[in-house]
Amino acid sequence: MRSVIVSLLLTLRASLRSRAVLQIEILALRHQLQVLERGRPGRLRLTHCDRLLWVWMSHVWHEWRAAVVIVKPETVLAWHRRGFRLFWTWKSRRRVGRPGLPPDVRRLIRTMAEANPLWGAPRIHGELLKLGFELSQATVATYMPRHRRPPSQTWRTFLTNHAGQITAADFFVVPTATG
């Protein structure tokens, strides 16, 4: 008799719930069955989508704790916390400096510098301002091609080139009256 009353009360309770809540519960139970069928015996195979579904259900559906069978409710909350931490880690990542120039403006700077080798950054900057590009002179200098200069001479070359002057300065000193 008692089990009949409990069954009747549960049926009455289920009939009072909204259709959306029943659909979410059906979704939750079917999802758990699919996860159990997908995995090996004794081993669950949960994907990121499975975890996201349960995190979403924990927000949308207040009675989700009673329906989850394959994992503990604390596990779902831990997934949510981990996802929240990952999101804010990504959101607060350090983006250093200003965004770069578009590639077409960089090409224009290089083309202008190569076509006019006597123009420096100030002149190219001025020409770009006339064309309507808002950028600084330092940015123009950054994207200008570097001209290869010959390397400076080595010490050996310096000593070879200036051996006569070094010898004259060191050995042929004329002492004067003042010392």
Say which residue, 114 or 24, is predicted with more confidence.
Answer: 114
Residue-wise pLDDT tens digits, 83-139: 999 999 999 888 787 777 899 999 999 999 999 989 999 999 999 999 999 999 999
Do the beta carbons of residue 22 and residue 14 sit within 8 Å?
A: yes
The per-residue pLDDT for range 33-51, each reduced to its tens digit, is 888 888 777 777 888 888 8
DSSP 162: T
DSSP 8-class letter at 113: H
| CA geometry: angle 142, 144, 150, nearest 5 deg | 105
Contacts of 139 (CB under 8 A, 6+ apart): 101
Q: Containing H/E element for 7?
A: helix 2-16
**Rounded to 5°, angle at Cα 106 from 105 and 110:** 115
Q: Are 149 and 118 in contact (CB under 8 A)?
A: no
Tokens of 90: 């990504």
Q: pLDDT tier at 179 (50, 70, 90 boundaries)?
A: low
Instruction: State the average pLDDT for the chain.
Output: 85
Tell me the two tokens of residue 35: 């996860």
pTM of this structure: 0.42
Residue with tokens 């403006």: 105
Return the domain boundaries, the chain: 17-91, 103-143
Distance CA 123, CA 110 (A): 13
**In whole angstroms, what is the distance from residue 166 CA to residue 98 CA?**
52
> Does residue 58 contact residue 67 with C-beta atoms inside 8 Å?
no
